[in-house]
Amino acid sequence: MGYSTQGKNAHESLVARQDSEIRLLELMRRCLLQKVKCDREYASAIASVAQQGLKIDKTDEPNGSQVLQAWKKFMEEMENQSKLIRTNTENLENVCTDRMSQMCQEKRKLKKQYQEEHAKIASRFYQLTEDVARKKAEYQKHLEYYKQMRMRFEEHYIKSGRAGRKLDDVRDKYQKACRKLHLAHNEYVLLLHEATEVEKDYRTILLPTLLAHQQTDQEQFITNWKNLLNDIAKFSDYTSNEYLSIQQHISNSINSITPTDEYKDLADKYKSLPVIFRFDDNPNEENFGKLQPNQLAIDNLTIESLRQRIADLEQSIKECQEKQQKIAGEINGKKISSSTSSIQSAASNNILTTNSSNLNGVSNSMKDTKFNKDLCSLKCQERQMNKLVEIIRSSLNEVSINELPSGCDDISVEIDKNLGTDENITSSSTHMSVILQKSGDFMTLIRTPFRKKRRTVAGDELSRRSKSQTPMTVRATTKQTRSISSSSLTVSNRPIYEEEWFHGVLPREEVVRLLRNDGDFLVRETTRNDESQTVLSVCWNGHKHFIVQTTADGHFRFEGPSFPSIQELILHQFQSELPVTSRSGAILKTPIFKEHWELSNDDVILIDKIGRGNFGDVYKAKLKSSRQDVAVKTCKHSLPDEQKRKFLQEGRILKQYDHPNIVKLIGICVQKQPIMIVMELVEGGSLLTYLRKNSATLDQQQMMGICRDTAAGMRYLESKNCIHRDLAARNCLIGSENIVKISDFGMSREEEEYIVSDGMKQIPIKWTAPEALNFGKYNSLCDVWSYGILIWEIFSKGGTPYPGLSNSKAREKIDEGYRMPMPEGTQPEMYKLMLKCWKEIPEERPHFDEIFTVVDCLMKKQ
C-alpha cells in the first residue's frame, strides 16, 4: 500500500510531512557543521599534545630505555590519530555538508513540483464542482421563469380565448422560456455526467498516478538520505572499543531504514472515497413537463444544440489525440541510459561523484514523470469526452427524426380539460393544436397533462383512533365486489379524519408499502411550501399521487366535476370507475383502510417529559381508551422529510416483533403533527442508569440474568434478520422483576447484511465492530461485538468502555489488537465470552444462539 490509495485529506498531510522533512534536513545540516568544528578543534588539541610529548631534552634521554621508545611510539600514533581525525573532518565538511545542502534544495524542489502538479490536477475538479452548483442554480432559475410564463399564458388564454395579439406575445415568451429550460436541462445533465467522469478519473487515475510518481521520487530521496547518513557515520568512526559500540548502534539504526515502508502508516490512515454527483430532482409532488432526471431531452428545441455539441466534442477529441502523439514521440526520443550511469558511479571511489549521480537520477526521473502525467491527463480528457459523445449519440439514436417530439406542452388543451364546465371553451378547444414554423422545422405543442396551480385547503384536525381494519385484497372487478368496497365509501357529515381510508400525514414511503395492487388507493395529507394539501395516492402502473384541487367556490375536484366535500369526490371517482386524470388512467378499485397500529393523536394523553431523543422529546403518556401507561417518542414538525422517514423506521421495525425482551410497539400516530411512536412504558428506565445507581448491591446472579435477557432478545432479532447497530446499556430498559428489554431501533436494518452509504455520522465508535468502522459493513456479527462491550458495561457496573481513551485513540488501539481487561469480579468464563465476541475476524465470533446457551448454562451452574 502506498500513496496512490490515499484520499483527499492525505494531500495536506503529505505536504506537512515534506515540510517536517525539510526542517529535519536543516537541523541535521546545522548539527553536522557544529560537529566539524568540534572535531577540528579536537584534532588540533591532540596534535599539540603529541608535539609536546615528543619535546624531550636529549640530556634527559635515558639511553636504550625501552620505556622511552614506547613513549615516542605512543606519541607518534597519537599524532597519526590527529591526522586521521583531521582527514575525516575535512571529508565531512567538503563532502557530507555539501551533499546535505544539496538535498535540502532538492527536497524543496520536490515539494514545490508536487504542489504544482496536484493543483493542476485538482483545479479542474474543483472548477467543475463549482460549475455544477452554478448550473444547478441556473437550471432552477429557468424552471421558475418557465412556470411564470406558463401561468401567464394560461391566464391570457382564459381571458382572451384563442386569438389576439397579446396572447401571441405571451405564447412566444412561453415558448422561449420552454426552449431555455430544455437547453439548460441538457447542459445540467451533461455537466453532471462530465463531473462524474472527471471525479472518477481524479480519484482513480490522475491522483493515484501523481502520488505513485511522487512516492517513487520520495523513495529515491530516502535512499540518498540513507547513503548520506552512512557516510557521516563512517567518517565519525574512531575505531576505539567505545566508538565501535556506539557505531554499531548507529549502523543498526541507519540500516533499519526501509524506503518502501517509510510512508506505510500515512497510507493506511487515509482512504479514498468517491464523490457522487446526482441530478437534483424537482421536489414537486408531480413531475413538471417532460423533463426526466438524468436523461437528455431530445426534441425540436434541443436537437440542433446536441448535434453541435457532438461536433465540438469530436474536434476536441481529435486535438487531444494529436497532443498525445506528440508527447509519446518526445518520450520515445528521450532515452536516458540510467544503467550506464550506475555502472560508472559504482566504479568510482569518489563519494561525492557517486551521490551526485544519484541526485541527477532523481532529476531525470522527475522529468520523465512529468511527461507520463501529462499523457495520463490527456487520456483521461479523451475518455471523458468520448463518454459524453456516447451518451448524446445513444439518446439521439432512440428518437426518429421524422417523429421528433415537441419540446413545449399544449397548455390550451389541458386548460380546456380543467375548465370543462365552461361549454364555450370546452367545445372549441378540445382538438386545438398550435403549429409554429421556424427555419423549416415544425414545433408542435402536443397535448400533455398540465396541473393548474390552485388554492388548497389544509386538512382538519384528526381526533379519533382508527378501528382495526384489514385492507381489501379482493379486486373490485364485479359490481358485487365493488359494492362491498363502497360500503365504507358513503357520503356522511363526519370529518375526513374519521374515514378509514384517510391516513393522515403518513409519509409517502409508508404509503407505497400499503398500495400493492393496481387500483389500491388511500387519501393522506402532505405539506409543501409550508401549506397543507390533501393527496390521493393510487397504485396504477406504479404509484401515482394526485393533489386534490380546490375551486373558487370551495369545492374539490381532479379533472372532472367538483364536489362540496372530499368524501363525495372520492366516492364519485370510485363508483364511476373513471380515471383520476386522462393521462394517468388510474382507476380507484380498492380502498386501503388504516392498519391497527395507526392511532389517532388524540387517543394519547401526554403527561410528563422523561427524556430527549435524536428526533424529539420522549414522554410518559396514557391511552384514553384503556388508561394504560405508555412511552411516547415524538418527531419535531420542523424536521425534513428524510429525518421523519428515519424516525418512523423504528416503528415499522418494531410493529412486527413480539418478544419479552424486546420493547413492544403499541402504535404510531400519523393522523396529524407531531408524528408519534407509542411503546410500552418500562418503568425501570435505562439499564445504564440502573447499573450505576445499584452498583453497590448488584450480585453475580443479577448481572448474569441481565446478560441472558439481552442475549435472548438479540437471538430473536438475529432470527428475524434484524441488525440493531446500536446495542449498548443506554439503549436497554429494565422492567419489573429486572427483566431487560432491548429498545431504540432507530439505526436498525432488516437485512442479512447492510452497507452504509450515507457516511458514518453519529456512529457509537466504542461499541461498533472494526469492520463496520473501517468498511461500513454491518451484519449480525457486528451486534455480537457490541454485545461483548455490553457485557463489559454490565460487569463494570455502568463503566464507560475504554476508560481514559478518546474515540479515535480507542479505535487506533483496537486496530492494533488491544482488548479491554476483565472487570473486577467477573467470572473468567464470561471474560472468555467477551474475548470471543471481540474476535477481529467476524466469522470467528459466536452467534447469539450460542451466546445464549453459554450464558444460560453459566447461570444454572451458580
More confident site: 838 or 295: 838
pLDDT over 70 (residue 709): yes
Please tell me whether 125 is known to bind a ligand: no
Are 631 and 682 a contacting pair, CB within 8 Å?
Answer: yes
List the domains of the chain with CATH numbers.
3-58+65-384 (1.20.1270.60), 411-444 (no CATH), 479-591 (3.30.505.10), 598-680 (3.30.200.20), 687-861 (1.10.510.10)
Residue in the block written with cell 455502568: 798
Q: What is the 8-class DSSP label of residue 526?
A: E
3-class secondary structure for 424-456? HHHHHHCCCCCEEEECCEEEECECCCCCCCCCC
Are 573 and 559 a contacting pair, CB within 8 Å?
Answer: no
Q: What pLDDT was estimated at residue 249?
A: 58
More confident site: 100 or 434: 100
pLDDT tens digits, 784-823: 999 999 999 999 999 999 999 999 999 999 999 999 999 9
Name the pairing type of β-strands 590-591 and 520-528. parallel
Q: Record the pTM.
A: 0.43
Beta bridge partners of 436: 443
Please tell me whether 612 is known to bind a ligand: yes
More confident site: 355 or 449: 355
| Cβ-proximal residues to 789 (8 Å cutoff; 6+ apart), any chain | 728, 766, 767, 801
More confident site: 730 or 81: 730
Grid coordinates given for 109: 524542489
Decide: helix, strand or coil at residue 641: helix
| Cα angle 84-90-91, degrees, rounded to a multiple of 5 | 90
**What is the C-alpha to C-alpha distance for residues 860 and 862, in angstroms, rounded to an integer?**
5
Instruction: State the chain's mean pLDDT as an integer.
Output: 77
pLDDT band at 273 (very low <50, low <70, confident <90, very high): low
Q: What pLDDT was estimated at residue 545?
A: 92
Are 183 and 175 a contacting pair, CB within 8 Å?
Answer: no
pLDDT band at 64 (very low <50, low <70, confident <90, very high): low
Grid coordinates given for 706: 441481565
Q: What pLDDT was estimated at residue 40?
A: 87
Residue whose C-alpha is closest to residue 207's, from 219, 216, 199: 199
pLDDT band at 670 (very low <50, low <70, confident <90, very high): confident
Residue whose C-alpha is closest to residue 534's, from 642, 599, 462: 462
Please tell me whether 735 is known to bind a ligand: no
Please tell me whether 36 is known to bind a ligand: no
pLDDT over 50 (residue 508): yes
Residue 674: cis peptide before it, omega within 30 degrees of 0: yes
pLDDT band at 467 (very low <50, low <70, confident <90, very high): very low
User: How far is Cα of residue 816 from the mean position of the Cα atoms in its chain?
Assistant: 26
pLDDT over 80 (residue 839): yes
Q: What are phi and psi of 654, to 5 degrees?
A: -70, -30
Are 178 and 408 a contacting pair, CB within 8 Å?
Answer: yes
**What is the C-alpha to C-alpha distance for residues 832 and 193, in angstroms, rounded to an integer?**
53
The dihedral sign for the CA sequence 858, 860, 861, 862:
positive
Q: What pLDDT was estimated at residue 619?
A: 92
- Neighbour count for residue 784 (Cβ, 10 Å): 25
3-class secondary structure for 719-787? HCCCECCCCCHHHEEECHHHCEEECCCCCCECCCEEECCCCCCCCCHHHCCHHHHHHCEEEHHHHHHHH
DSSP letter string, 155-218? HHHHHHTT--HHHHHHHHHHHHHHHHHHHHHHHHHHHHHHHHHHHHHIIIIIHHHHHHHHHHHH
Name the pairing type of β-strands 753-755 and 777-779. antiparallel
More confident site: 88 or 12: 88
- Buried residues in 106-144 as b, exposed as e (16+ CB within 10 A): bbeebbebbeebbeebbebbeebeeebeebbeebeebbe
Please tell me whether 618 is known to bind a ligand: yes
Q: What pLDDT was estimated at residue 830?
A: 95
Please tell me whether 613 is known to bind a ligand: yes
Name the pairing type of β-strands 665-669 and 598-599. parallel
Residues catalogued as catalytic: 726
In the chain, the amino acid numbered 23 is: R
Q: What pLDDT was estimated at residue 338?
A: 47
Q: What is the mean pLDDT of residues 665-671?
A: 86
Q: What are phi and psi of 678, to 5 degrees?
A: -105, 125
Q: What pLDDT was estimated at residue 157?
A: 80
Please tell me whether 616 is known to bind a ligand: yes
Q: What is the mean pLDDT of residues 718-730?
A: 92
Are 281 and 387 a contacting pair, CB within 8 Å?
Answer: no
pLDDT over 60 (residue 461): no
116-125, 468-477, 714-723: range with lowest mean pLDDT: 468-477
Q: What pLDDT was estimated at residue 32?
A: 86
More confident site: 368 or 150: 150
Q: What pLDDT was estimated at residue 402?
A: 45
853-859, long-range: CB < 8 A, 24+ apart: 854/829, 855/704, 855/707, 855/708, 855/711, 855/830, 856/708, 858/704, 858/827, 858/829, 858/830, 859/701, 859/704, 859/705, 859/708
More confident site: 390 or 437: 390
| Cβ-proximal residues to 429 (8 Å cutoff; 6+ apart), any chain | 162, 412, 413, 415, 416
pLDDT over 90 (residue 782): yes
Q: What pLDDT was estimated at residue 88?
A: 85
Residue whose C-alpha is closest to residue 501's, from 561, 566, 548, 556: 566
pLDDT over 80 (residue 468): no
Grid coordinates given for 799: 463503566
Are 159 and 170 a contacting pair, CB within 8 Å?
Answer: no
Residue 348 Cα distances to 71, 235, 341, 355, 544, angstroms: 40, 18, 11, 11, 84
pLDDT over 70 (residue 294): yes
22-30, long-range: CB < 8 A, 24+ apart: 22/104, 22/107, 22/108, 22/111, 25/100, 25/103, 25/104, 25/107, 26/104, 28/100, 29/97, 29/100, 29/101, 29/104
Are 545 and 283 a contacting pair, CB within 8 Å?
Answer: no
Q: What is the mean pLDDT of residues 601-617?
A: 86
pLDDT tens digits, 750-777: 777 777 755 555 789 999 999 998 888 8
pLDDT over 70 (residue 472): no
3-class secondary structure for 21-40? HHHHHHHHHHHHHHHHHHHH
pLDDT over 90 (residue 833): yes
Q: What is the mean pLDDT of residues 436-444?
A: 31
Q: What pLDDT was estimated at residue 548?
A: 93
pLDDT over 60 (residue 351): no
- Neighbour count for residue 52 (Cβ, 10 Å): 10
Q: What is the mean pLDDT of residues 828-855?
A: 95
pLDDT band at 54 (very low <50, low <70, confident <90, very high): confident
Q: Of 112-116, 494-498, 584-588, give the range with the top mean pLDDT.
A: 584-588
**What is the C-alpha to C-alpha distance for residues 632 and 650, in angstroms, rounded to an integer?**
13
pLDDT over 70 (residue 354): no
Q: What pLDDT was estimated at residue 421?
A: 37
82-96, 263-277, 710-724: range with lowest mean pLDDT: 263-277
Residue whose C-alpha is closest to residue 691's, from 676, 701, 706: 706
More confident site: 207 or 734: 734
Q: What pLDDT was estimated at residue 267?
A: 59
pLDDT over 90 (residue 655): no
Q: What pLDDT was estimated at residue 490?
A: 61
Residue in the block written with cell 590527529: 82
Q: What pLDDT was estimated at residue 614?
A: 76
Decide: helix, strand or coil at residue 463: coil
pLDDT over 70 (residue 546): yes
pLDDT tens digits, 225-258: 888 888 887 777 776 555 465 556 556 656 666 6
Q: What pLDDT was estimated at residue 107?
A: 84
Please tell me whether 615 is known to bind a ligand: yes
Which residues of 45-165 form beta strands (DSSP E)? none
pLDDT band at 298 (very low <50, low <70, confident <90, very high): confident
**What is the C-alpha to C-alpha distance for residues 142 and 177, in angstroms, rounded to an integer?**
7
**What is the C-alpha to C-alpha distance for residues 379 and 205, in angstroms, rounded to an integer?**
10
Q: What is the mean pLDDT of residues 539-563?
A: 91
Q: What pLDDT was estimated at residue 454?
A: 29
Q: What pLDDT was estimated at residue 364?
A: 58
Q: What pLDDT was estimated at residue 712?
A: 96
